Amino acid sequence: MKRIFLFFVFLICLILATSSLVRSAEVIKLKAANYLPVTHPMSLLNGWFCDEVKKRTNGRVEITYYPGGTLLSPVKMYDGVLTGIADLGFSHIQYTRGRFPVTEVFDLPLGFPSGWTATMVATDFFNKYKPKEWDDVHVLYLTTSGPIILQTINKPVKTLEDLKGLKIRAVGQMSDIIKLLGGVPVPLPMPDVYDALRRAVIDGVTVDLSTLKYWKFAEVTKYVTADWQLGTGITFYWVINKNKWNAIPPEGQKIVTEVATEARDKQAALWDQMDIEGRDLFTSKGGQVIELSDSEASRWIKAVEPVIGEYKKTMVSKGHKDTDIDGWIKFIKERIAYWHKEQKRRGVPSAF
C-alpha cells in the first residue's frame, strides 16, 4: 500500500513538473503601445525594452511594439491597457488628472532640478508608499521628467507681469500653476501642440527642454523662460496588464523586471541628455533663454504656493490624513536633496 501511495505521489509530482515545463516553453505574445513619435529617444528606449525581453527570455516572451500612437492615444493609454487593447502602455499621468491622485504629488512645484534626480525620487516614493491607484496594473517603472519650463512664440517672459493673459498649453496640475502665474491654460494633447504654436492658436507651452528638439518646438518658439526653480515635472508610467503579467512564469517575470530596471536607469539619464540637446539646438537657432533673477524666481515660487494647499485639501477630502500628505512632501524633498547631491557626485550632466 505504501509503495502504491509513493508511486502516486511521484506521478503527481511528474505531472506538475511537466506542466510547468510546458508552460515555460509556451511563447507569450504581448502588445506594447507608446504615443511618442517613432524616432523619439523615449520611444526607441521602449523598443529596446521589448527587444531585450525577447532576447533574454530566448523568445518565450515576445512583445510587438506599436509606437507613435498607432495603437492608443496618450489619453486612452491606461484604459487601453486595462481593457487589453494593449498589454503594455507608456504615457503620463497629467493626461488623466485625478486618476493617480497620490502620484500627482509629483506635479507640484517641489523643486525637482533634473530628470535623473526626479526619476530616482519617483522610484523611491513608489517603493515606499505603493499607491493603491496602481493596483489594477503591474508597474514596470515610473519616470519623471526634468523641470517644466515656459516656451513662448512671440513675447519674452521675464516677469510675472509679462505672462499675464498669455494662452499657454498646460495639462494636469500645470493648468492650476499657469492660472496662479497669470496665464490662461489651454489643454492640448502633445501631438497637437506644434501646429497650435505654429498657427499662434496658443502663445506658448509649459514642458521640458527636450521638446525643443524632439517635438521640434525650436522651430516655432523664440523664447524660453528658465523657471526651473519651480521644479515641476511630468511623471510617466510604463505598465503591463495585471492578468498578462500573472501569465508570465516567475523566471520570465524576473527577466522582465531586470530589463525594466535597466530601462528606467537609461531613461533617468536620457531626460537630462535630451534637455541639454534641446537647449543647445534652440540657442543655435537664435532662440533666447531668459534666466529669472533670484528675486523674480522667489515671486514665481510664492505665487504658486496655493497649488500645494489645494492639493492637500483635495487629498484630505478623499480620505487621506493631512499628516500623511505632509509626510509625502517631506520625503520627496529629502530624496531630492539626496539624489541631486548623488547626481553631482556621479558626474551625471544636467541642463540646470
CATH number of 200's domain: 3.40.190.170
Please state the domain count of the chain: 1
Does 150 fall in a domain? Answer: yes
298 phi, psi to nearest 5 deg: -65, -35
| pLDDT: which is higher, 41 or 17 | 41
Q: Please, what sign has the CA dihedral across residues 124, 127, 131, 135?
A: positive
State mean pLDDT over 127-138: 99
The pLDDT tens digits of the residues spanning 251-295 come to 999 999 999 999 999 999 999 999 999 999 999 999 999 999 999
The pLDDT tens digits of the residues spanning 14-34 come to 444 444 434 456 999 999 999
Does 189 fall in a domain? Answer: yes
Does 40 fall in a domain? Answer: yes
The pLDDT tens digits of the residues spanning 136-185 come to 999 999 999 999 999 999 999 999 999 999 999 999 889 999 999 999 99
The letter for the amino acid at 287 is G
Contact 68, 34 (CB under 8 A): yes
Does 257 fall in a domain? Answer: yes
User: What are residue 168's DSSP bridge partners?
Assistant: 185, 204
Domain housing 45? 26-346
Position 306 pLDDT exceeds 60 = yes
State mean pLDDT over 190-198: 97
Largest interatomic CA distance in the chain = 92
3-state SS, residue 223? strand
Does 17 fall in a domain? Answer: no
Does 5 fall in a domain? Answer: no
What pLDDT, on the 0 to 100 scale, is given for residue 172? 87
Position 10 pLDDT exceeds 80 = no
Whole-angstrom distance, CA of residue 248 vs CA of residue 93: 26
What pLDDT, on the 0 to 100 scale, is given for residue 12? 52
Order of strands across the sheet with 235-241? 61-66, 28-34, 88-92, 235-241, 137-144
Does 269 fall in a domain? Answer: yes
The pLDDT tens digits of the residues spanning 197-225 come to 999 999 999 999 999 999 999 999 999 99
What pLDDT, on the 0 to 100 scale, is given for residue 4? 53
Does 10 fall in a domain? Answer: no
Alpha helices in 169-286 (DSSP H): 173-180, 190-198, 211-214, 242-247, 250-284
